Amino acid sequence: MRVLVVEDQPRVCEAVARGLRRTGAAVDTALDGEDGLFKARVNPYDVVVLDRDLPRLHGDDVCRTLNAEQPDSKILMLTAARGVDDLVEGLAIGADDYLAKPFRFEELVARVGALARRSGEAKQSVLARGDLELDPARRTATRAGRDLELSPKEFGVLQELLGADGAVVSSETLLERVWDENADPFTNTVRMVLVTLRRKLGDPSPIQTVRGAGYRIP
């Protein structure tokens, strides 16, 4: 799951991003509406956590634009206003969900997860192939009933491979979907995570390497 957090208060923005990363999400951040819209146009996000009162470009304008240009991305709008009229207005301009400040972080995580499962990339609640089963909502992955105890990045890579339904997934796609904007595209980080993931999956490895193209679980 890849998430963009657009929030003009740096401490709040980083706290939300840090917390979401602990759940295994790849999180990018922006401190104003223009930067947020730019990043959303460049990268595919499952969920955009969008503050409403943003500098340079108001959150309402960002929401309207993303709703028109990126319909598969789900938008969770944050606002200091708590009235019903504000909630209705936020949903009317294209937000998929609405959370008033101050909020409990556990509630934000739950809402982000629910929106991600509704996004265009998340068509199945539980992903399964052979004796492998992965439940994104419960953050569990098993093989033949055995808990795999995966790290967040291992979980993300396995989720992308299972979600591809047998198709080849390139290293570039894995880096884009599982890591955030700070990842170095020239490192071997994807390969190293695949090494540890294969070790945890055991033999025979369900992950095939397609030379020059990427990886797949047939």
- Tell me what percent of the residues of the chain surpass a pLDDT of 70: 92
Q: What is the pLDDT of residue 81?
A: 67
Q: What is the pLDDT of residue 38?
A: 97
Could you tell me where in the chain the CATH 3.40.50.2300 domains are found?
Answer: 2-118
pLDDT at 187 over 90: no
What is the pLDDT of the chain when averaged over all its residues?
89
pLDDT at 122 over 50: no
Q: What is the pLDDT of residue 10?
A: 96
Could you tell me where in the chain the CATH 1.10.10.10 domains are found?
Answer: 127-216
pLDDT (average), residues 116-122:
64
pLDDT at 91 over 80: no
pLDDT (average), residues 159-176:
91
| Residue 59 binned pLDDT confidence (cut-offs 50, 70, 90) | very high
Q: What is the pLDDT of residue 124?
A: 55
pTM of the model: 0.72
CATH node for 2-118: 3.40.50.2300
| Residue 196 binned pLDDT confidence (cut-offs 50, 70, 90) | very high
> 3.20.20.140, 1.10.10.10, 3.30.1330.80, 3.60.15.10: which CATH number matches 127-216?
1.10.10.10
pLDDT at 98 over 70: yes
pLDDT (average), residues 210-216:
93
SS3 string, the chain, reads CEEEEECCCHHHHHHHHHHHHHCCCEEEEECCHHHHHHHHHHCCCCEEEEECCCCCCCHHHHHHHHHHHCCCCEEEEEECCCCHHHHHHHHHCCCCEEEECCCCHHHHHHHHHHHHHHCCCCCCCCEEECCEEEECCCCEEEECCEECCCCHHHHHHHHHHHHCCCCCECHHHHHHHHCCCCCCCCCCHHHHHHHHHHHHHCCCCCCEEECCCEEECC
